[in-house]
A and B are shown apart, each in its own frame.
Chain A
Amino acid sequence: MSVPISWYLLLSAVLFGIGAIGALTRRNGISIFLSIELMLNAGNLTLIAYARQWNDHTGQLIVFFVMAVAAAEAAVGLALFIAVFRQRRTIDVNRLNLLQG
């Protein structure tokens, strides 16, 4: 018996929620990034689920692109982290507070 699509969607939502909480509460910059990757994956799951539902390739293709973009984003983001670390010797986001007004 097949699993109804809605279950996958629910799972995706839960994973997204978990990732969101992580992104908002962690102090460590790297950990925030990990949470963001988690959120992206949750989105991917939704897309694949709908591709299945409507029997259309488009969802899978979008996931393909999302992965590419996530890779690019991770690369650039981590490079930025390295640069910040050089200046400030920390990646604790609480201390990276030069924007405070």
Chain B
Amino acid sequence: METVIFFLFAALAIGSAIVVVTHRSPIYATLSLVLTLFSMAVLFVLLGAPFVGVLQILVYAGAIVVLFLFVIMLLNVQKEEDAHVDRGVQLWIAILGAVVFLGMFWLAFWRTGLRIGGPAPAPLTEDLVSLKGLATALFTDYLLPFEIVGLLLLVAVIGATVAARRPDSETVRPDDDYVTAEDPSTGPVLPREARS
């Protein structure tokens, strides 16, 4: 049973990952990412981390991906005109690099004695799965990182706000030298309708 679920959602994850990476339209790519995240959440639950799985859906799929969508719509990002991947050296090197990377992993497996058909892990314990165990560890051993991450989030909020705000003088320069004919996006902030 477990195996079936694993394979099903693993295939789903890989499939939607490929769509994320290859689809021309960013909206579709983002939505595909949502699917990937869902599959991963299921796999997390399968691995005895239900809390993390739920967190994945809430935070990742719920907040981060929504943020992505907002920005995509704000910037009115169009479909990429020509082929969505660069032909040429860049692509080949990237694929090569990824293959090498995977190959390394394979070798690492061999070294550590891990085999594809390896021994099954021990049965899940109450402690691992329960929220209580997780929370205890979080608020005792890992309290300091917890606080620091909180601070990090604060800093990120401030930083994002500052980085994205409009320049004070409202001088929206024409940028004639930057804009090229191919570039479809024109309006920076307001939708077309509002400007006229």
Interface residues of A (CB under 8 A from B): 1-11, 13-22, 24-28, 30-31, 33-35, 37-38, 41, 44-45, 48-49, 51-53, 55-58, 60-61, 63-65, 67-76, 78-83, 85-92, 95
- Chain A residues, CB < 8 A from B163: 76, 79-80, 82-83
Interface residues of B (CB under 8 A from A): 2-3, 6, 10, 13-14, 17-18, 20-22, 26, 29-30, 33, 36-37, 40, 43-44, 46-49, 51-52, 55-56, 59-60, 63-64, 67-68, 71-72, 74-75, 77, 80, 84-86, 90-91, 93-95, 97-99, 101-102, 105, 109, 114-125, 127-128, 133-134, 137-138, 142, 145-146, 149, 152-153, 155-157, 159-164, 166-167, 172, 175, 178-180, 183, 185-186, 188-189
Whether A20 pairs with B97 at a CB distance below 8 angstroms is yes
Whether A60 pairs with B51 at a CB distance below 8 angstroms is yes
Whether A15 pairs with B13 at a CB distance below 8 angstroms is yes
Contact of A55 among B22, B90, B122 (CB under 8 A): B122
Contact of A53 among B2, B75, B121 (CB under 8 A): B121
Whether B18 pairs with A18 at a CB distance below 8 angstroms is yes
- Chain A residues, CB < 8 A from B179: 89-90
Whether A7 pairs with B2 at a CB distance below 8 angstroms is no
CB distance from A89 to the nearest CB of B (A): 5
Task: Indicate the member of A4, A45, A58 with the most B CB atoms within 10 Å.
Answer: A4
Besides A4-B120, A72-B155, 12 new A-B residue pairs in contact (Cβ under 8 A), listed by A number: A20-B101, A28-B26, A34-B30, A38-B36, A41-B56, A64-B138, A65-B146, A65-B149, A69-B152, A71-B156, A74-B64, A90-B183
- Chain B residues, CB < 8 A from A22: 20-22
- 9 tightest CB-CB pairs across the interface, nearest first? A22-B21, A72-B156, A79-B160, A79-B164, A24-B94, A2-B120, A79-B163, A17-B98, A4-B118
Whether A8 pairs with B20 at a CB distance below 8 angstroms is no
CB distance from B110 to the nearest CB of A (A): 11
CB distance from A94 to the nearest CB of B (A): 8
- Chain A residues, CB < 8 A from B48: 51-52
Task: Indicate the member of B99, B121, B122, B152 with the most A CB atoms within 10 Å.
Answer: B121
Task: Indicate the member of B17, B44, B48, B124 with the most A CB atoms within 10 Å.
Answer: B17
Contact of A71 among B18, B22, B153 (CB under 8 A): B153
- Chain B residues, CB < 8 A from A91: 75, 77
